[in-house]
Amino acid sequence: MNKLPRSAYIHIPFCHRRCFYCDFAVIPLGNNIETLNGYGSKTVKEYLTFLNKEILSIKHKSPLSTIYIGGGTPSILNPLQIKDLINLFKENYGIDYGAEITMEVDPASFNEDDLHGFIKAGINRFSLGAQSFNNQILEQAGRRHFSKDVEKSCSWLKRVHDNGLIKSWSLDLIQNLPISSFKEWQEDLENSLKFCPPHISIYDLNIEPGTVFKKLVDLGKLSLPNDDDSFKNSELTNLLLRASGYSRYEISNYSLPGHHSRHNRVYWTGLGWWSFGQGSTSSPWGGEVYKTKN
Ligand code: SF4
């Protein structure tokens, strides 16, 4: 038998609503899902039951060195639900000492107590989907959060990192969003650097079929940076981040020394990984195994 995967991706597909650029496998639940007292909405509970079965269904399991809980919006789950998931892996696969356990969080879906709960549950790295610090840009992109939410989340993450409670964290931005010209992008980068995130992911906006943005583009109603502006934005990104000590280790990923994502690297180095949940893709032995988005 080939070497067994040492990494697992878990997809939590729930979001409060769908952002205007997003074509991911997402289940929008609205604003009123109950998560803090008890175990969330019925849909979330049912999904977790199936997810558990899927995780247990793998016949040959081996201890994991990276786990990545992505979405969707995993921070819609409460800390107990995250703990249960991690314990499931601990008890059935084993988790290596020093394993990297990452969770994506959305600025409008967790508070400082939740953050400490996630850390107690075993998360040691976070990826914050900030996208921008500019309220107008966030609103145009259909995001639920505001600049103040991003700032608060960054301060909490910086504090727990400075206090040694987590190994690392990442701030995620989207480059070339509507109405983000050179000036706004420079402000976004400078605002990000104020919090010294050890890792920054910068994704270029893609206009995907079926999204609100695609409809607006077709109607000629979306103002996007042109090619020259995009080029200048990219140059600025490289210049500013390099000058601040970051190295670009993958196309969208920049890190300070020692803070690259070990889980990301698994995807590019040919090592296999398990993937659990809706719309996720496993690659246990080199070939890819797709699951449906629905
Ligand atoms: S929060 Fe992320 S996954 Fe959810 S709709 Fe927005 S971009 Fe898509």
One-letter identity of residue 68: Y
User: Within 13 Å of residue 273, how many CA atoms lie on the same side as its CB?
Assistant: 23
pLDDT of residue 289: 56
Residue nearest to atom 8 of ligand 1 (CA): 22
- Provide the pLDDT for residue 42: 81
Ligand 1 nearest-atom number relative to CA 16: 4
Q: How far is the CA of 81 from the centre of ligand 1 (A)?
A: 20
Q: Is the CB of residue 19 below 6 angstroms from any atom belonging to ligand 1?
A: yes
pLDDT (0 to 100) of residue 269: 76
**Which residues in the chain land under pLDDT 50?**
1, 36-39
pLDDT value for 232: 94
Which residues, listed in sequence order, are joined to residue 128 by a DSSP beta bridge?
105, 171
Ligand 1 pocket, residue 15 CB under 6 Å: yes
Predicted pLDDT of residue 3: 79
* pLDDT digits 0-9 by tens, 154-190: 999 999 999 999 999 999 999 999 988 899 999 999 9
**22 CB near ligand 1 (under 6 Å):** yes
| Whether residue 71 has its Cβ less than 6 Å from ligand 1 | yes
pTM as predicted = 0.93
Q: Could you tell me the residue ranges of all domains in the chain? A: 7-290
Decide the pairing of beta strands 289-290 and 281-282: antiparallel
**For residue 36, what pLDDT is reported?**
47
Give the residue among 128, 67, 133 at the shortest CA–CA distance from 100.
67
- The topology (CATH level 3) of 7-290 is Transcription Regulator spoIIAA (3.30.750)
Task: Decide: 29 in ligand 1 pocket, CB within 6 A.
Answer: no
